Amino acid sequence: MNLSAQQATLALLSCECLETLGQALCECILQWAPGAYLLVGYISPSKQDLACYSNGKGESVLTLQFDDFSHPFSQVIRTGKPAVWSTLNYGVRIEHPEFRALVQNMGKECGLSVQPFFDNELRLVGIFAIFDMPAVLNTLVQPEHAFLYLLQVYLLQVRHLKKAADLVSKNNARHEVSYIQQREKNNISHAVQQAFVGRSSYICQLRRKIQVAITHEAAISIEGESGSGKSRLAALLHTLSGRKGALVIVDCNSLDLQQQGRRLFGVDNVSESALIEANNGTLLLENIDQLAPCWYGRLQHALDCGEVHSSQKYDFAVSQFRMLTTSCQSLSALAVTVPSFHSLYLRLNHYPLMLQPLRCWREDLDLLVPNIISELCQQHHKPMLVIPNEWLTPLHAYHFPGNVLELKTLLEILLLEYSDAELSTVHEIFAEQLTHSLSAEPIAVPDYTQSGTLKEVISVFEKAVISHRLIRKNSNKERVANSLAISRRSLDMKCKKLGLSK
């Protein structure tokens, strides 16, 4: 191999990108054929066309379709073998209009030599074409000439640079994915911390379990007392899990047996059922302990097979959803007392979450109360309110039978009862009202063994409930009636009958 060929080889091996590599090859060829016109063609990723570049650089000057046989390159693409044309007759016999114009623009009669090159798996990846006089072309394609050797060096360097570029691309993609995943993880962690404020060991452990629950698709049962935040937790799990479908909520406690079947499975048309509406989303069954036993088997079948049959069994469809359930009582105890519930319980309780009553983690009230008031001020467009420490004293002594919901409702009522000026200047009024509202004792549980008729015992209990609620609501009968889900007229009649009228 002569010195110029060695220099050409070193020039190719020193290239660090595909663009400079193509230019270097063309510069080497032009030393041996100064009057040549060179084209480097690369097969597109779609394997449908060939993009050709003049002298290995610049914009593509020609794009040829694989299934188009109106140009000379089609023979090389089809056979995978080199080809030489001693003359192109100024392009007059070439049917491809752009290729014919390219040859005619050269301004001279020339021949064509085309060399294919392949990858490690012997797949065609491109071609190298030289347009020049027949004598020059015949010289270049001779076995003893350095041209064919240089093409092999060029192909090896293409493979090396492409492999390096692919590796860098994969590493960049991996780092990008890692960054996105870490950012999403931080966003989820922040959202969970905002939803469950506190520093107690219970709250910290609950937040960790919630973040685990977000990462999988297993069924989750949420147990806790009324007002402890079960529905809010379920909505948070659905939102942060990023499911494409909707969150469909069915409260089993508000429906009778027939309504449960109609809402969950539909009657004749299963597309109207909640299980189909929750496809690719989340189905939340609130108060699952109130679901009629006759629907256990059908719900279990839907969880096992993804098939939803209408209550009349005339229609069925397929649905993939995540199941979330809430209950105020222990589902494990229910599974023991109701054997038919046990099989369904095993499918609902893959990852249980237990919400403790607020009285068990009152040490977090110092953080929880300001956080709730801040949310309420934004919701009702009130100025931000700073909570003095003395306001929290009666809260720590209260047992909170209604848990977090009761606390939020109480703070919202107090916040709305006073004007912005009063809340910002007269803190004593707010503190006094707060203390008065929390001074009510819990409802005394009547002695069910006491003598008297059933009507008399119920009357005692009813009087205790209404009396307690009147104290809690500051004798506001509209609020009392709404909280008891009865009309104002019914409440007035009961108060008069029970001797509670003022």
What CA–CA distances, in Å, run from 239 to 194, 236, 281, 431, 443? 14, 5, 10, 37, 37
Q: Which residue has the higher pLDDT, 319 or 183?
A: 319
Task: Report whether 468 contacts 443 (CB < 8 A).
Answer: yes
- Placement of tokens 């050709």 in the chain: 52
Residue 484 has pLDDT above 60, yes or no: yes
CB proximity list for 482: less than 8 A, separation 6 or greater: none
pLDDT band at 323 (very low <50, low <70, confident <90, very high): very high
Instruction: Mention the CATH class of domain 3-165.
Output: alpha beta
Fold entry, domain 358-437: Helicase, Ruva Protein; domain 3 (1.10.8)
pLDDT of residue 3: 47
Q: Which helix (H) or strand (E) holds 316?
A: strand 316-318
Cα(63)–Cα(52) distance, rounded to whole angstroms?
A: 6
User: Does position 6 have pLDDT exceeding 90, yes or no?
Assistant: no
Between 275 and 427, name the one with better pLDDT: 275
CATH number of 196-355: 3.40.50.300
pLDDT value at residue 324: 94
Q: Are strands 37-43 and 124-132 parallel, antiparallel or unpaired?
A: antiparallel
pLDDT band at 35 (very low <50, low <70, confident <90, very high): confident
Listed in sequence order, the residues at least 6 apart from 458 whose beta carbon sits closer than 8 Å to its beta carbon are none
Closest CA to 285 of 324, 238, 341, 321: 324
Give dist(CA 55, CA 237) in Å, integer. Answer: 59
12 exposure class (CB count in 10 Å sphere: 0-12, 13-18, 19+): buried
Tens digit of pLDDT for each residue in 38-85?
A: 888 888 776 778 888 887 666 778 888 878 888 888 888 888 888 888
| Total-model pTM | 0.55
CB 55 within 8 A of CB 38: yes
Per-residue pLDDT reduced to its tens digit, 372-393 = 888 888 888 887 777 777 767 7
Share of the chain above pLDDT 70, in %: 85
Residue 227 has pLDDT above 70, yes or no: yes
Terminal-to-terminal C-alpha distance of the chain: 116
Q: Say which residues have a Cβ less than 8 Å from residue 302's Cβ, sequence separation at least 6.
A: 275, 308, 309, 319
- Comparing 363 with 23, the larger pLDDT belongs to 363
β-pairing, 247-251 vs 282-286, is parallel
Contacts of 120 (CB under 8 A, 6+ apart): 159
Selection from 17-26, 28-37, 142-151, 415-424 with the highest mean pLDDT = 28-37
For residue 472, pLDDT over 70 is answered with: no
Q: Given this model, what pLDDT does residue 383 score?
A: 78
Instruction: Give the pLDDT score at 446.
Output: 56
Q: In CATH, what number does 454-498 get?
A: 1.10.10
Is pLDDT at 249 greater than 90 in this prediction?
Answer: yes
| Dist CA 213 CA 210 (whole Å) | 5
Region 454-470 average pLDDT: 81
| Euclidean distance between CA atoms 301 and 344, whole angstroms | 9
pLDDT at 243 over 90: no
Report the pLDDT value the prediction gives residue 137, as an integer from 0 to 100. Answer: 85
Q: Is the pLDDT of residue 151 over 90?
A: no
pLDDT value for 448:
55
CA distances in angstroms from 296 to 45, 330, 455, listed in the order given: 53, 17, 36
For residue 230, the model assigns a pLDDT of 92
DSSP 179-247: HHHHHHHHHHHHHHHHHS---SHHHHHHHHHHHHHHT----EEEEE-TTSSHHHHHHHHHHHHT-SS-E
pLDDT band at 250 (very low <50, low <70, confident <90, very high): very high
Domain positions in the chain are: 3-165, 196-355, 358-437, 454-498
Structure-token pair, residue 421: 């000026």
Q: In whole angstroms, give the CA distance from residue 372 to residue 264.
A: 35
Whole-angstrom CA distances from 486 to 253, 453, 474, 477, 483 are: 18, 25, 18, 11, 8
Instruction: Measure the CA–CA gap between 308 and 271, rounded to whole angstroms.
Output: 9
Average pLDDT, the chain: 81
Q: How confident is the model at residue 426 (pLDDT cuts 50, 70, 90)?
A: very low
CA 466 to each of CA 89, 449, 481: distance values in angstroms, whole numbers, following the listed order: 107, 22, 9
Rg (CA), the chain: 40
pLDDT at 4 over 80: no
Task: Tell me the C-alpha distance between 490 and 440, whole Å.
Answer: 24
Is the pLDDT at 194 greater than 60, yes or no? yes
